[in-house]
A and B are shown apart, each in its own frame.
Chain A
Amino acid sequence: MDQNRKVHQFKNPVLNWIEFRLPIISYFKKEYGDYPMPKNCNYFWSFGALATITLVTMIVSGIFLAMNYTPHTDMAFDSVERIMRDVNYGWLMRYIHSNGAAFFFIIVYIHIVRAMYFGSYKYPRELNWILGVFIFLLMMATSFLGYTLPWGQMSYWGATVITNLFSAIPIIGEGLKTWLLGDYNVGNATLNRFFALHYVLPFVIFGVVGLHVAAVHVHGSNNPDGIDIKSKNDSVNFFPYMLIKDTIAMCAFGVAISAVIFFGPNLMAEVDNYIPADPLVTPAHIVPNWYLAPFYAILRAVPDKLGGVLLMFGAIVILFVLPWLDRSKVRSCNYRPIYKWFMMGFFVNFFVLGYVGMLPAEGLYLLIARVGLLYYFGFFFIITPFVGWIEKPNKLPLSISDVYAKNIASNIGGGEKGMPSPAMQKDTNL
């Protein structure tokens, strides 16, 4: 049909043979070789690559764990202990997988902070942001399902509490909960289906990550100054510059995660999960994984069952519409003198919510959680639209390369802060 299409020519005849039949070589060359990255991107831009690598690590370690795991209420706990004690390097697989999950969330949270602070969610990357929030949701579901599998006390009661959230829905709630559990309480049917879903969801995540990456490659990556690439001077090729930079980030990450896996593998684990599940005894404090704690804090801050559930899910769903709540055309908070501080306040607030989410919901902690809840939603519904309206942003640089010209000029000439550099003046005159 299309015999006249232009086929890329490579030196290697094998590559040419493949390229003629499936243009995958030129695709990779375009997307991962010549792909232009803004040259001012800092290490915050390495966290997407780190997240991808962690996802692959989780899938691989998970497959090997599944080879020795038994999804049955009578055997699950013992099979995990067998992995830890008898299976060759089973302890390593499990510690990679359990700590990998925590690090996956650390990386993704930093990735989200990056996207929020530098305005990566704005035009024309809104769909990219939506896909990202979708990945985040899938990750939370997957980690919750996976946390049930070791069948310890926290597994069991965590699953009980979370599935009971659905019973808050009027009329259909109880039926829906029973349908999700396959029983009237968390039991063998539940464990079996949670295992099946925990196995398959990461591949769904992998697919959505593919779309997420494809979408960012359409308009290119954002950058700390939040301005578009205007000329070849503004960018560097992905290969080798960004690949090397990401590799360095990966090495640093490898050191960090190895330190935890080998020297503190249970730092982020709950002791109670080393007690086999007992349907008749609830642990004194049910704590979620720390990376879900901010949302758990929101759930408990509300004195009404349905209200708490709605606000908790609302706290995630609200992220989907952030690109439309923020009316400012300026992407990077570096150029938004007011919003910048509210944004940082949002990050601190999220951290505080996570902290109180791990503590009992009473007294001062409950009060802090309620204030945090107000700020969380206030940030999205009031601060973000309002500040975008009243704020006068700082003057944006003319181009990415201009930022560098300015920096170099001020380094050489010792130009005072805030004074327009000669290079900038020259460009302004153009």
Chain B
Amino acid sequence: MAKKPNNKRRDFLQLSTVTLGAVGTAAFIWPFLKSMSPAEDTLAAGSTEVDISAIEEGQSITIKWRGKPVFIKKRTKDEIEAAKMVQAGDLRDPQDDADRVQKEEWLVLVGVCTHLGCVPLGQKVSDMKGEYDGWYCPCHGSHYDTSGRIRKGPAPKNLDVPPYTFLNDTTIKIG
């Protein structure tokens, strides 16, 4: 051994080679992973306009928005009262009824249970509506009230309120 090998130089070369290799591999994998995310046309699914003039008080309709069911319900006086009576602080996902509606007779919800994604029952007159007279998810027994808030069962959150605007008194634009 005439000369001690230059370890610093060797370490630098090894480290930079491994780093470059790792970055290169990650850069190569990224497009493959990203290709599994929703495609552009899926993202552009956009908005839906709904005519609500034919909905009677107490009636609820289901429309499809971005592949999901959306509930549009014209609530009765009693239902509005029941929803307002609740102290938000007592709820699992505290929210006042006023924060969940734009006009208090119209309740707009994404009809997807926040537990594991089933569609809750309660849209038809004959459906089970659960203990709080709103919606009831048959999959794992979550009960929602007349504001679509979780009251009992395994679901962690209230039914989502989608973004929507009243274009006029008889038309809602969802999305």
9 A-B pairs besides A160-B118, A184-B66 with CB distance below 8 A are A164-B115, A182-B42, A187-B42, A189-B39, A279-B64, A282-B137, A305-B116, A305-B154, A362-B141
Q: Beta-carbon contacts of A274-314 to B below 8 Å, as 1s and 0s?
A: 00000111111110000000000000100111001000000
Interface pair A304/B68, CB less than 8 Å apart: no
The answer for the CA separation of A154 and B62 in the assembled complex, in Å, is 21
Determine the chain A residues whose CB is within 8 A of the CB of B31 once the complex forms.
none
Given A305-B155, A361-B140, are A183 and B38 also a contact pair (CB < 8 Å)? yes
Contact A182 B115 (CB under 8 A): no
- Chain A residues proximal to chain B, CB less than 8 Å: 157, 160-161, 163-165, 167, 178-180, 182-185, 187, 189, 193, 279-286, 300, 303-305, 308, 360-362
In the complex, which residues of chain A have a beta carbon less than 8 angstroms from the beta carbon of B62? 280
A187 touches B119 (CB 8 A): no
Instruction: Please name 12 pairs of A and B residues whose Cβ atoms are closer than 8 Å in the assembled complex, sorted by A.
Output: A163-B117, A178-B38, A179-B37, A182-B36, A182-B37, A184-B38, A189-B39, A279-B68, A282-B139, A305-B156, A361-B140, A361-B141
Nearest-neighbor residue (CB-CB) of A284 within chain B: B138
Q: Are A178 and B119 interface neighbours, CB within 8 A? A: no
Once bound together, how far apart are the Cα atoms of A308 and B155, in whole Å?
12
Residue of A183, A281, A361 touching B119 (CB-CB under 8 A): A281
Question: Chain A residues near B154 (CB, 8 Å)?
Answer: 300, 303-305, 308
Within 8 A of A (CB), among B24-75: 33, 36-39, 42, 62, 64, 66-69
A179 touches which of B36, B67, B116 (Cβ 8 Å): B36
Chain B interfacial positions (CB closer than 8 Å to A): 33, 36-39, 42, 62, 64, 66-69, 111-112, 115-121, 137-141, 154-156
Contact status A279-B67, CB under 8 Å: yes
Contact in complex: B117, A161 (CB < 8 Å):
yes
User: What B residues does A163 contact at CB under 8 A?
Assistant: 117
A184 interface neighbour in B36, B67, B115, B116, Cβ under 8 Å: B67
**How would you classify the secondary structure of chain B's contact residues: helix, strand, loop or mixed?**
loop
Name the distance in Å between B140's Cβ and chain A's nearest Cβ. 6
Q: How far is A284 from B121 in the complex, measured between Cα atoms in Å?
A: 9
Number of A-B contacts (CB under 8 A): 81
- Shortest C-beta distance, A311 to chain B (Å), equals 13
Please, how many angstroms separate the alpha-carbon atoms of A234 and B84 in the complex? 79
Check if A279 sits within 8 Å of B116, measured CB to CB.
Answer: no
SS class, residues of chain A in contact with chain B:
loop
Chain A nearest CB, measured from B55 CB (Å):
17
Cα-based distance from A319 to B69 in the complex (angstroms)? 40
* Residues of A contacting B69 in the complex (Cβ-Cβ under 8 angstroms): 279-280
Structural contact, B67 and A282, CB atoms closer than 8 A = no
Q: Is the CB of A300 within 8 A of B140?
A: yes
A304 to B154, CA, bound (A): 6
Q: Which chain B residue lies CB-closest to A187? A: B67
Contact B116 A280 (CB under 8 A): no
Complex-state Cα separation, A193 to B121, whole angstroms: 30
Cα distance A279–B117 in the bound complex, in angstroms: 10
The answer to whether B118 and A184 have CB atoms under 8 Å apart is: no
What residues of A have a CB within 8 angstroms of the CB of B140 in the complex?
300, 361
The answer to whether B139 and A182 have CB atoms under 8 Å apart is: no
CA distance A165 to B118 in the complex (A): 12
Measured between C-beta atoms, what is the minimum distance from A304 to chain B in Å?
7
Do the beta carbons of A161 and B36 come within 8 Å of each other?
no
